[in-house]
Structure formats: structure tokens, C-alpha cells
Structure 1
Amino acid sequence: MATEAETGGFNIHPMDQFIVSPLFGDGEVHWYTPTNVTLWMAIGVLCVVLLLVVGTRGRAVIPSRHQSLAELTYGFVHKMVEDVTGKEGLKYFPYIMTLFMFILVANFLGLIPAAFTVTSHIAVTAVLALAVFFGVTILGFVLHGKKFLGLFWVTSAPLALRPILAVIELISYFVRPVSHSIRLAGNLMAGHAVIKVFAGFAVVAWVAPLSVLAITAIYALELLVAFIQAYVFTILTCIYLKDALHPSH
């Protein structure tokens, strides 16, 4: 009797959904090749524009659903930036708002069947994280000069411990873009991979009902994760910006 593996019943490849492939043809992928990542990033940008620009162009006193959603999102991020960074950080609100919306929309688009989750790729999240890292570092030196290095000198600690803490602070500072990017990509990739694994078990008759229940539960959890990860990435950006604006311990 043929086994499940021989008949293809358990032929599950959860990581296949993350393969970057060209949109046209089957050739090699170069830096200039339009790929599925390019397509879904463009769709994400288009969705953000439709929501924040087209959806609010009327600026009605009694807002439509689109305008209400755009205004709620705007107010949510604006309050986050103000609460974490203070009034001084509001001038950088447009960038943080753009960052939040792109990640949030990309996360949700990835939950559409047959879609591609661009934020599951470290190549995408690393660029976003490095942009934040270099941006706040340059800003810190522009605003404070050498005083920005006070971020690494813990004046509240005993003098003997300060050099050791300075090394720890320096290492943790340069680890920021790594943790910033891996956290987002790792969570999105793990959730989608688990869904694909349970979907593979749905072909087995006696397991199918449990598989469908598991997929439904994980999908609901992934909806929450999609928002939380966008929020975490954004609030960490605000915290790093706060360090650039107020570097002293």
C-alpha cells in the first residue's frame, strides 16, 4: 500500500511561499528584475495612497468610512510620536506615519490567499531598519555633535562601572537594526509557514476538520500579529528617535 508521502498527501513545502520569482519569464533575478516582491510592494503603496490621499480628498465634516479610517490612523500614529518623542519629534511624523502605513498594509496584504508577504523578507525589513538606524544616528550628531555620545555614558551609574556600561550600550546600539528587522520578518514568516503546514494536512480526510479549525485560529492570530508588528516597529522607531533628540541619560 502506498504511503502518504508517496501519494503526495504530506508533500508540504511551507517555505515555497517566500520564494522571490520574476514576474516575466523564469530567468535569474537581478537587482533590476521586476519580481513578485516588486509587485506587492507597489500594490501596498497604492493601497496607502488610496486610503490616505484619495480617501480623504473630500475632507467632509461628516466623514466617510475611508476618511474616518484615515483620520483614526493619523491620530493614532500622531499621538504615539508625541507621547514617545515629545513635541520636538512631531516634525518627523510624516516619515514615521509612512513607515507605519507601509508595514501595516504590507502585513495585511500578505494574508490574502496567493499574495506575497514582502515584510517576511529580511531584505525588505533590513532596509527599513537601516534607514531608521542611520537616520537617527546622523540626526543625533547633527543636533548635538559630540554630546550625542552621552547616550552611551551612563552618568547615573558608579564611575567604575561606566566604561563597562558604555561598551554594553555601544554594542546594544549597533544591534538595533538587526533586532529591529529580524523581529518583523521572523514573526511574519513563522506565522505564514505554520498556516501552510496546517493547510498541507487538510488533504487527509480525518485530519481535515482539525486542520481547518487550526488554520482559522492561526489566521485570526496573524491578523493581530500583522498590526502588532507594525506597531512594534514604529514605536521602536520613535524610541530611537527620542534617543537622537534627547541623548543624555
Structure 2
Amino acid sequence: MAGEASSGGIEAHPMDQFLIKPLFGDEGLGLFTVTNQTLWLAIGVLIAFALLALPTRNATLVPGRMQSVAESLYIFVRKMAVDILGEEGLKFFPYLFTLFVFILISNVSGLIPASFTVTSHIAVTGVLAMMVFLTVTILGFVKHGPKFITLFWIPSAPTVALRVILFAIEFISYFVRPLSHSVRLAGNMMAGHAVLKVFAAFVPAMGVLGIVPIGAMTGIFALELLVAFVQAYIFTILTCIYLNDALHMH
């Protein structure tokens, strides 16, 4: 929330926009409470359906606008999967495409005024990252068996002692992946939205000069729109890289 304090100063609460609140009643949050986060998760699914399923239901040889958007997203993610994983990786394309579209729509919809950015919460991004981690780990052991452990062994290191040290470092970094994978997305979404809220607090306080922070907000909004696409891309391409480790052991 933002506004002028009674003392004439500026009062801004940029983190209030990330609070999870129940939609019905004030009894607090429970296991089955319908919240603003629940609402925007459902809205994200509906947007994905409207963006991808409806335009391609009666696809034509010469695509319209919405069909072109859906096909462009499809081709973009498919090319990413093939470039990194090879043709063998196409079996994971539905998973990668779902990840990309969900994160992209959640990021962009969070820029709508009075909306809620579900990807700003580690509870959401953590689940996504943990799913990737478990998929990669299970796939690695299913495909390679115990040999998957050699993913952390660096045979090119000059001494055995150094190889052991590098093994420990690689092993720890592997288990840190879900944390870095999730925090990167949530942190970027939260930071940009908080900055927008801070600038919004200056608009009513500065009166006529409020046009200055409005101009700054326009630039930041454009940057946040770019960040929304970039973060969806980064999350998906890192997933491809992790899957490549499990498939090809290099």
C-alpha cells in the first residue's frame, strides 16, 4: 500500500502486495483456504487455455494472430529443447512447454494492477524447482544406474586429492540447485514489483510533479515485462541443462 502519511511524508508498504489473503472471510489461512494466490493460479490456467487451446482448436494453414502467438511459443520452446537435449529430449517437450507457459503467464499477469504475482512466492517456485530436481535425479539413476554419481567426478583434475575436493563441491552444488533455481525466479519477480510500488508512493505526494515518478514507472514496467519473459526462459533453459546432465552425463 502507498499513500501520504498524516505527517506529510510518504508512507509506502511495497511488500504488502505479496501477502496471501483469504478470499472469503477473515478466519485465517488453512489447508483448504481459497486465497488470492489460489485465484490467480486458476486465472493463469484459464489464460493458458485461451492463449493456446482455443486458437489452435481449428488451426488453419494461414494462421491468425492468436494462432501465430501459440505456434511461436511452441516453436521457441521446441527449438530450445532440441538444441540442448537433441531429438532424444523431445519426450520432455510437453513438460518443458508447460513450465515455460505457466511461468510466463504467471509473471506477466502479475503486472496487471490489483493482481497477484504467484511466482513471487518461494512456495510456488520451490515446488517447480523441486519437481525439476526430482525428475532429473530419478531420470539419471534410471538411465545410468549408480554410474550417475560419476557426474560429480572430475577426471581431468591433476591430482586425486583435488578430484575429491571437486567431487564434494559438485555434489553440494547439485543439491543446492532447487534453492538457486527457485530463489532466482521469486527474487526477480518480487524485487521489480516492490520498486514499482515504491515509485507509485511518490505520485500522490508530489502533486503536479508526480509525472516524474509516473515516467519512471513506465520505464520500470517495460523492464519488468522483459524480465517476465527472461525469467521464464532462464528457468526453462536451466531445466533443459539439468535434464541434459541426466541424459548424457556431461
Q: Please indicate the TM-score interval, normalised by the length of the shorter structure.
A: over 0.9
Asked if 2 retains the 8 angstrom alpha-carbon contact of 1:201 and 1:207, the reply is no
The CA distance in 1 between the partners of 2:195 and 2:209, in whole Å, is 16
Q: Which amino acid aligns with 2:61?
A: V
Shift of 1:7: 4.3
Q: Which amino acid aligns with 1:6?
A: S
Match of 1:154 in 2: 154
Match of 1:216 in 2: 218
Instruction: Write the mapping of 1:58-97 to structure 2, written as runs, cut at 5 A.
Output: 58-97=58-97
TM-score by length of 1: 0.96
Shift of 1:218: 0.3
Q: For 1:62, what is the secondary structure of its paired residue?
A: coil
Match of 1:53 in 2: 53
Q: Which amino acid aligns with 2:178?
A: P
Deviations 1:111-151 (A, max 9, x none): 00000000001110000000000111011001110111111
Q: For 2:6, what is the secondary structure of its paired residue?
A: helix
Are 2:174 and 1:173 aligned? yes
Shift of 1:175: 0.7
Deviations 1:144-181 (A, max 9, x none): 10111111011222232111110010011011000000
Q: Which amino acid aligns with 1:69?
A: V
Q: For 1:11, what is the secondary structure of its paired residue?
A: strand
Are 2:42 and 1:42 aligned? yes
Are 2:188 and 1:187 aligned? yes
The CA distance in 1 between the partners of 2:38 and 2:100, in whole Å, is 19
The CA distance in 2 between the partners of 1:117 and 1:85, in whole Å, is 31
Deviations 1:25-79 (A, max 9, x none): 1121112111000000011011111222111011101111111100000000000
More displaced 10-residue stretch of structure 1: 44-53 or 203-212: 203-212
Q: Which amino acid aligns with 2:150?
A: G
Shift of 1:226: 0.3
Cα gap change, 1:105 to 1:158, in 2 (>3 Å): same
Q: Which amino acid aligns with 1:132?
A: V
Q: For 1:156, what is the secondary structure of its paired residue?
A: coil
Shift of 1:14: 0.3
The CA distance in 2 between the partners of 1:85 and 1:15, in whole Å, is 39
Match of 1:25 in 2: 25
TM-score by length of 2: 0.95
| Runs of 5+ consecutive residues of structure 2 not aligned to the other structure | none
Q: How many residues align?
A: 245
Shift of 1:5: 3.5
Q: Once superposed, what is the RMSD of the aligned Cα atoms? A: 1.2
Stretches of 4+ aligned residues off by more than 4 angstroms: none
Shift of 1:11: 1.7
